[in-house]
Amino acid sequence: MVMYTLVHPQANGQAESNNKIIVNNLKKRLDDNKGSQAEELLFVLWAYKTTSKVATGQNPYSLVFGMEAMVPAEVVIPTARYVLQNQADNNKILAPDLDTIDELRDLAKIRIAAHQQRITNAYKKNIKVRRFQIGDLVLRKTFQITMDLSAGKLEPKWEGLYLIDVEAGKGEYCLATLDGNIFPRSWNAIHLKSYFMYVRLDVS
């Protein structure tokens, strides 16, 4: 039975990105107030949830509740919008927002898809796709599950020598050893590099 170990589980990195933004904003607020992370975290989270994002064009609060959040200062120092409203009138005003929340979320999904496409195009513009021919000699990148942990920093980053046996797809190749043994899976071109054999000619 063949078992495969996941080296890098697939994720979109959204949680790490959000955490990085929250930590950076928290550090700015703690410059003059060290040791009060718990108190300042509430303000940082509120600011993050009520700030519009480039990808969606909306803030997370409005996408969840279908309405804009009221600034806390309006509760501490009451304004006309806060004082002159009663519960019945407020519910009547907010009702249309609740009816259009699905449309708001759909528009946010469209903006996210367009934003991701722009990022993908910008990233692919600088990528140079490696192309190999059948029979080319290549080296394969050493993965964590295949490396010798006892070697430490001296562990080689590439292993092989292998032959390109079949082009399995766009940028994917099946490898074979020099003895003709074929690997059961294909490898992406980014994990392969060409091997050049130098031959010294004796002209004397």
Q: Hey, what CATH topology would domain 137-194 get?
A: SH3 type barrels. (2.30.30)
pTM summary value: 0.52
Q: Which two tokens stand for residue 172?
A: 């994917």
- Spatial contact of 52 and 66, defined as CB atoms under 8 Å apart: no
If you average pLDDT over residues 63-72, what whole number do you get?
A: 82
Q: What is the mean pLDDT of residues 59-82?
A: 80
Instruction: Please report the pLDDT score of residue 158 as a whole number.
Output: 86
What is the DSSP secondary-structure string of 14-56? HHHHHHHHHHHHHHHHTSSSTT-HHHHHHHHHHHHHTSPPTTT
Residue from 68, 192, 88 nearest 142 by CA: 192
Distance of alpha carbon 39 from alpha carbon 195, whole angstroms: 58
Helix (H) or strand (E) holding 115: helix 101-124
pLDDT digits (tens, 9 = 90+) for 6-60: 444 555 667 788 888 888 888 887 776 667 777 888 888 888 888 888 888 888 8
pLDDT digit string (tens) for 76-102?
787 777 777 787 887 887 788 778 888
Q: How far apart are the C-alpha atoms of 13 and 59, rounded to whole Å? A: 19
Of the chain, the percentage scoring pLDDT greater than 70 comes to: 82
Q: In the predicted model, is pLDDT for residue 154 greater than 90? A: no
All CATH 2.30.30 domain ranges in the chain, comma separated: 137-194
